[in-house]
């Protein structure tokens, strides 16, 4: 693939993607360890420190992509740390939020947009099922495509469901970034709001030639899937680490 294309996991769902010569920040939650209340009573959130300083994460960012505005994807620390004139792309449900936060170059994408030669498509998903889905609100994913670059599908906070399968079918991505934390909302313990081990395996089965990069683990107290439990399930399905990449916080995957 093209030179210098990479995805760095910061923490949880926050990524820095170097793509087509641009530095793209995805879903930044930049608060220090223990800044926020627990979801389940188990621990304060986030449960781990950032692997880099906020200054290093936000420096020279060309574009911010926000799948949805739950605090573990865009928090007050990120809102303050980012230049309000940075280019930012959000889903229609968050249009008012970013106007209110005074991001003057926020663009709401219904279906797709082209920015600096990069085609960005918004995809659908469901942040859970049944009753809890109503509480979780609207979420999106994004696909990045550019000449001479691998196609990257960032699924966002979704369970495995038909819209995700359709996006894989439509875009035939080279890389799929999935939020595999298996998060549970208190009171809805039987219906995870993110893919867990089993759903991740279902996605991998339907993923064609894509490599899977699994993130959104071991940072929040309501995420029950761990890197170890996911790798264990993958080995039971004979899925190797050439197919399923599980980066550590701060780790960079060269595409």
Could you give the domains of the chain? 6-246 (3.60.15.10)
d(CA 132, CA 222): 14
The first and second tokens of residue 176, run together, are 């799929």
pLDDT by residue (tens digit) across 198-244? 999 999 999 999 999 999 999 999 999 999 999 999 999 999 999 99
How would residue 3 be classed by pLDDT, with cut points 50, 70 and 90? low
d(CA 226, CA 218): 6
User: End-to-end CA distance of the chain, in Å?
Assistant: 7
pLDDT at 93 over 60: yes
Q: What is the mean pLDDT of the chain?
A: 97
pLDDT at 56 over 80: yes
The angle that helices 197-205 and 227-236 make with each other, rounded to 10 degrees, is 50
**Burial of 162 by CB count in 10 Å (0-12 exposed, 13-18 middle, 19+ buried)?**
exposed
pLDDT at 2 over 90: no
pLDDT at 144 over 50: yes
User: Mean pLDDT over residues 143-162, rounded?
Assistant: 98
- Asked which of 2-16, 58-72, 73-87, 228-242 is least confident by mean pLDDT, the reply is 2-16
List C-alpha distances in Å: 196 to 53, 99, 116, 140, 184.
30, 34, 35, 18, 10
d(CA 204, CA 45): 29
Instruction: Please report the pLDDT score of residue 1 as a whole number.
Output: 41
User: Mean pLDDT over residues 65-76, rounded?
Assistant: 98
Q: Is 250 left (phi over 0), alpha (psi -120 to 50) or beta?
A: left
Instruction: Please report the pLDDT score of residue 4 as a whole number.
Output: 84
pLDDT by residue (tens digit) across 42-51? 999 999 999 9
Instruction: Please report the pLDDT score of residue 194 as a whole number.
Output: 98
Which ranges constitute the DSSP H helices of 70-161? Answer: 76-81, 95-100, 131-136
Task: Name residues whose C-beta falls within 8 Å of residue 152's C-beta, 6 or more positions apart in sequence.
Answer: 7, 17, 19, 143, 144, 173, 174, 175, 176, 177, 255
CA trace torsion 20, 21, 25, 30 (10° rounding): 150
Which ranges constitute the DSSP H helices of the chain? Answer: 54-58, 76-81, 95-100, 131-136, 162-171, 197-205, 227-236
């Amino acid at each position: 693939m093209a030179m210098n294309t990479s995805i760095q996991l910061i923490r949880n769902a926050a990524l820095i993607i170097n793509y087509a010569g641009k530095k793209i920040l995805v879903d930044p939650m930049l608060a220090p360890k223990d800044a926020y209340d627990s979801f389940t009573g188990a621990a304060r959130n986030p449960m781990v420190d950032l692997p880099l300083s906020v200054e290093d994460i936000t420096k020279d960012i060309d574009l911010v992509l926000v799948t949805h505005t739950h605090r573990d994807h865009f928090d007050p620390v990120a809102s303050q740390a980012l230049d309000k004139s940075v280019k930012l792309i959000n889903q229609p449900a968050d249009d008012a939020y970013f106007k209110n936060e005074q991001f003057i170059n926020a663009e709401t994408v219904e279906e797709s947009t082209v920015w600096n030669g990069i085609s960005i498509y918004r995809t659908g998903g469901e942040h859970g099922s049944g009753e809890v889905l109503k509480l979780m609100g609207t979420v999106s994913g994004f696909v990045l495509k550019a000449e001479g670059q691998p196609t990257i599908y960032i699924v966002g906070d979704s369970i495995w469901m038909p819209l995700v399968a359709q996006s894989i079918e439509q875009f035939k991505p080279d890389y799929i970034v999935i939020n595999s934390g298996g998060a549970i909302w208190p009171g809805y313990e039987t219906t995870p709001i993110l893919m867990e081990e089993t759903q991740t395996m279902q996605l991998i089965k339907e993923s064609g030639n894509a490599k899977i990069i699994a993130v959104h683990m071991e940072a929040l107290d309501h995420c029950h899937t761990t890197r170890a439990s996911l790798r264990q399930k993958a080995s039971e399905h004979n899925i190797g680490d050439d197919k399923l990449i599980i980066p550590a916080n701060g780790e960079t995957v060269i595409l």
